[in-house]
Copies of this chain bind each other. A is one copy, B any other.
C-alpha cells in the first residue's frame, strides 16, 4: 500500500533529540486527541524496565491518548530514578498535548542501565508535538529504530463497524528477539470502535501468531511491548465479541502483525536470510513449537543457514537435543521443495544440491516431520552472521 498511511483520529511524528550520532531521529510521538481504547502485551522478562511497569498500569485502565517513545536508551534497570525520569517525560508530553499524565504511554529501547536523557527529550518535545501529522507514521517508525537498518511500517484496511476500519502498525526489532515480546516495540493504531478488553484479547492473539513466533537470537528484552490504540473515529458501530466484523478486524490485526514480524525477521541483526521453520507430526502443538524454537535458536543451525549449507545433520542434532518426542526412523526434513530426508532416508546428492540452491535465496522454508503425531507449529528465524557478532561486540562503543 501507500508509503504514507494514515488512520482517522491519529497524528504521529518523529524527531532527533541530538542524543544519537549523525542526528538520527530518536523520539517518536503518537497522538489521538479524542482519546482511544488502549491495550498492550508486555515483556515477561522478570526485570521489566520502568516504562513497561508504568505502561502496565495504563493498559489496566484501558484508555490512553498518546505514546511517547525514545530509542538509544532503554531506561531499564534504572530503579526509582528511571521511573521518575519516565514520569517527567510523560508529564511534559501530557502538558504539551493538553492531557493528563496517565493518558500517556511511555516506551524506551536501547542500552540497558543508563539514565534517560530527560533534558534532551524535553527540549525536543515541543517541536515534535507541533510537527505531528496524520501521515507521520514513517517518521515515528524511523525514530524508534536502534540497530534496525530500516523502519518497519504496515498498513491494512477492511469494511467493518459501519465504516472503513484502518489499521497502521510500526515496529522495531533487530536483536534481542525471542518469543513473548522480546525487544520489540510495536505500536498499532486503528479507527475501529472497540472496548479495551476485547481489543486486548485480539492483540494477544495477533501477537501469538506473529511476534511470538519469531526468534532472532533467543534473547528476551526488558522493554518489549506491543500496543494498540483504537480511536473509533469514522466507525459508528462498536465491534462486539463473536461478530463477523470483529473477526474481520481480528484478521486485519493478525495480517499487520505478521507483516511487521516478517519485516523484523528480514532485518534481524546481521541477518541475510529469513527462514520459516515448520514442524509437523509432533505429539502436540506445544512439542512442535519446542522443536521449531530448538532449530531456530541453534547456533549450529543458524550458522549453517548463513553458510547456505544444507547440513541436515545439525537439524537432526538439534531435534535430538531438544528432548521432543520423535521417531528417528520417520524423520523428514524438507528445505524449500527438496526432501533432503524422507522417513529417515537421505535424499541424495542431487536433492542436496537443489536444497543448497534454495538456501542461496533470501527467504525460504524448512519443514520438519517428527513422525509421532499431528502436532504442528511454525516460527520465523534468521541466520547468524559474523556481522551479528560485530554489531553486538561493539554496540555500546
* Chain A residues packing against B (C-beta within 8 Å): 45-48, 74, 76-77, 79, 111-114, 175-176, 178, 182, 217-222, 297-300, 303-304, 306-307, 309, 311-314, 316-324, 326, 328-329, 344, 346, 384-386, 388-390, 392-397
Contact A313 B112 (CB under 8 A): yes
Partner of A316, one of B113, B299, B313, B319: B113
Partner of A392, one of B218, B303, B322: B303
Contact A46 B323 (CB under 8 A): yes
Interface SS, A side: loop
Contacts of A76 in B (CB 8 A): 313, 316-317
Contact A316 B77 (CB under 8 A): yes
With A45-B321, A303-B389, A309-B393 given, can you name 6 additional A-B contacts, CB distance below 8 Å? Answer: A47-B319, A77-B316, A218-B299, A221-B317, A303-B392, A386-B389
Partner of A321, one of B220, B321, B346, B397: B220
Partner of A313, one of B111, B182, B397: B111
* A216 shortest CB reach to chain B, Å: 9
- Given A112-B314, A313-B76, A313-B113, A303-B393 contact (CB < 8 Å): yes
Q: List 5 A-B contacts (CB under 8 A).
A: A46-B320, A113-B316, A218-B297, A219-B299, A307-B393
Contacts of A311 in B (CB 8 A): 111-112, 395-396
Contacts of A74 in B (CB 8 A): 313
Contact A219 B316 (CB under 8 A): no
Contact A220 B317 (CB under 8 A): yes
Contact B79 A300 (CB under 8 A): no
Contact A309 B397 (CB under 8 A): yes
* A339 shortest CB reach to chain B, Å: 14
Partner of A326, one of B46, B304, B389: B46
Contact A317 B217 (CB under 8 A): no
- Given A46-B320, A46-B326, A222-B320, A300-B182 contact (CB < 8 Å): no
- Given A220-B321, A320-B222, A389-B389 contact (CB < 8 Å): yes
Q: Please, which residue of chain B has its CB at the minimum distance from the CB of A310?
A: B396
Contact A307 B394 (CB under 8 A): yes
Q: Please, which residue of chain B has its CB at the minimum distance from the CB of A345?
A: B79
Contact A47 B397 (CB under 8 A): no
Partner of A178, one of B220, B320, B321, B326: B321
What is the bound-complex CA distance between A320 and B47, given in angstroms? 5
